[in-house]
Amino acid sequence: MTPRAADQSAPAVYSRSTARSPWWTSAVVYQIYPRSFADSNADGIGDLRGILGKLDYLAALGIDVIWLSPIYPSPQDDNGYDISDYQDVDPVFGTLADLDRLIEQTHARGMRIILDLVVNHTSDEHPWFADSRSSTDNPKRDWYWWRPPRDGLAAGSPGAEPTNWASAFSGPAWDLDEATGEYYLHLFSRRQPDLNWENPDVRQAVYSMMRWWLDRGVDGFRMDVINLISKDPRLPDGPVTRDGPLGDPWDAVVCGPRIHEFLQEMHREVFAGRPERLLTVGEMPGVTVEDAVLFTDPARNEVDMVFQFEHVTMGPHKWGTARPRLTDLKASLGRWQAGLAEIGWNSLYLSNHDQPRPVSRFGDDGRYRVQSAKLLASVLHLHRGTPYVYQGDELGMTNSPFASIDDYRDIESLNHYAYEVGVRRQDPDRVLATLRGVSRDNARTPMQWDASENSGFTPGRPWLPVNPNFAEINAEAAMADPTSVWHHYRALIALRHDEPAVALGDFTMLLPDDERVYAYTRRLADVVLLVVANLSAANADVPIADAAGWAESELLLGNYPDSGNGLRLRPWEARIYRRLDPTSGFGRRISRLDDDIDKLQPFAEDRTAATLPPHQRSG
């Protein structure tokens, strides 16, 4: 179904609320993983000119912001998150001129573009690190974290690492540099040495680079693991992990003692005083609701919103395959809605380049693939916050049936397989079964454009195998089918643009203990929205107050071709209703609207100017 026209009887002053809130409250961000999006030169790897050729596709979907995963020069040890030059484009993706053209054409279509900012670490091939490792007295030595071996142990001997920390990508978080006899810290790959943000020269070099990109027309940054940049300078040992003997470094590196100082300094040095309103989102593993309130409080000038991981890490560990209970998922998302209701802002996502496909993880990627993909989008996009769409989710793309370890490219997956099979002697078939469910490569299979060879992604050999279901699931077919997942996403994005209650309304969770039905309301002034969704393959009733009245209300959007029977939901059915609050008189409506506007005072700005592309804005 497509949304009906907005109720013309709604108070005209709704526009005041939208005009006084930041542009990104009613915006939708689309993440592009460039290697896998569109290949223009037949080398099997996506590139900037490929993205340029698909801008009209994104504009037709209604996207407001494009977020590009890293396109900088890189040895590609971690698919671009190991950067060797912050101020250029990797030749595999094109040139700076190609990026300039992409920025220009994105703005010409009324969209913004933000880059991935990866400054917790660099590549070991970055000139900064080459200087740093050249000698112990090089001026850039303390641009990274270097330490001698433990007292009493020779460098290179077992247990000689400065701390017991484990890397997120398996093995110790320290690597020995034979030339100098010291170890350097890498929380991720050994080819991703961590920058030492305690050094003010490091910070100023990063800020200078950021200003250079903004001056070039970039509209902001998604900041990779940005809450890890401040570390406890004592670098204490961590508690031993479940597998031993390595320890968990998180207590010493997550939201460290100077993190707020660093982000506030970044704001002053990079963003303050610029006439356009930019977008900053911090990826923050391990962040709590209380932390996020501080990070996103507009009065503190740190970041606009954060990516938190709570709802996508609900299992006992990364490699667990169990689907989270719906009540646990509701409790997590509801807690974040409540925690940032008065101060701060949520980012909304179920997937990205590091997560498996949501329809395979949370939905039903078989019989009910279309319905469950639409349902998950409906439930997510109607929350309070800024939604992020990962490429292909608007098609209902699924996890890929990788046949063997040779099909994988992700360093995290390859290291996990090597450790589980080679060190822990686990059954290779069982380890592969786990990878098929949660590997990051599930999100990185090429975008499925049409039913031609390689799904139209490339005329060459793709760097990662295309999901074999591309003949059924592809953009060309979806755009031609008005009942497709793509058209449902388009309707959800339009609803966020057109209905202020979606962007700005209060959130109230309903039925928190129901294991099948996800239900909540959004309210702004006298407009109330109800979202109901059945996350199961059986019919489910929605036992809420005034169910009959809601069933007779305006149905804005659903994922079945008809409105059904009352509030009895069919398998994987979702509906979005709207009505005026029957208990609210005109005076109470105006009073409540004034309260809603007051809550948004910290965000006050002219949305009309803010939503224009930068080249059309006045100061």
What is the Cα 518 distance to its own chain's centre? 22
Token pair belonging to 601: 């005072």
Q: Which amino acid is at 51?
A: I
Report how far residue 529's alpha carbon sits from residue 581's, in angstroms, rounded to the nearest whole number: 10
Report how far residue 176's alpha carbon sits from residue 160's, in angstroms, rounded to the nearest whole number: 10
Report how far residue 596's alpha carbon sits from residue 524's, in angstroms, rounded to the nearest whole number: 7
DSSP state at residue 172:
B
b vs e for 532-546, b when ≥16 Cβ sit within 10 Å of the residue's Cβ?
bbbbbbeebebebee
Q: What is the dihedral of CA 409, 83, 54, 457, to 10 degrees?
A: -20
Contact predicate 187/168, CB 8 Å: yes
Report how far residue 591's alpha carbon sits from residue 600's, in angstroms, rounded to the nearest whole number: 15
Contact predicate 481/577, CB 8 Å: no
Q: Measured on CA atoms in the order 75, 76, 82, 85, is the torsion positive or negative?
A: positive
Give the residue among 50, 43, 167 at the shortest CA–CA distance from 99: 50
Residue 388 has, within 13 A of its CA and on its CB side, a CA count of 23
DSSP state at residue 398:
-
Query: Catalytic pick from 90, 194, 276, 283?
Result: 283
Q: Measured on CA atoms in the order 394, 399, 403, 405, is the torsion positive or negative?
A: positive
Report how far residue 122's alpha carbon sits from residue 352's, in angstroms, rounded to the nearest whole number: 21
* Residues facing 541 on adjacent strands: 568
Report how far residue 136's alpha carbon sits from residue 144's, in angstroms, rounded to the nearest whole number: 11
| Catalytic status, residue 420 | no
What is the Cα 519 distance to its own chain's centre? 23
Report how far residue 596's alpha carbon sits from residue 384's, in angstroms, rounded to the nearest whole number: 14
Residue 586: C-alpha distances to residues 33, 310, 389 (Å): 48, 41, 37
Contact predicate 54/90, CB 8 Å: no
**Strands of the 386-390 sheet, one edge to the other:** 305-307, 279-283, 220-223, 112-117, 65-68, 29-32, 386-390, 347-348
Give the residue among 71, 90, 186, 83 at the shortest CA–CA distance from 126: 83
Give the residue among 415, 397, 400 at the shortest CA–CA distance from 464: 400
Report how far residue 194's alpha carbon sits from residue 497's, in angstroms, rounded to the nearest whole number: 40
| Catalytic status, residue 178 | no
Report how far residue 111's alpha carbon sits from residue 335's, in angstroms, rounded to the nearest whole number: 31
* Bond into 245 cis (ω within 30): yes
Query: Catalytic pick from 224, 410, 420, 573?
Result: 224
Catalytic center residues:
224, 283
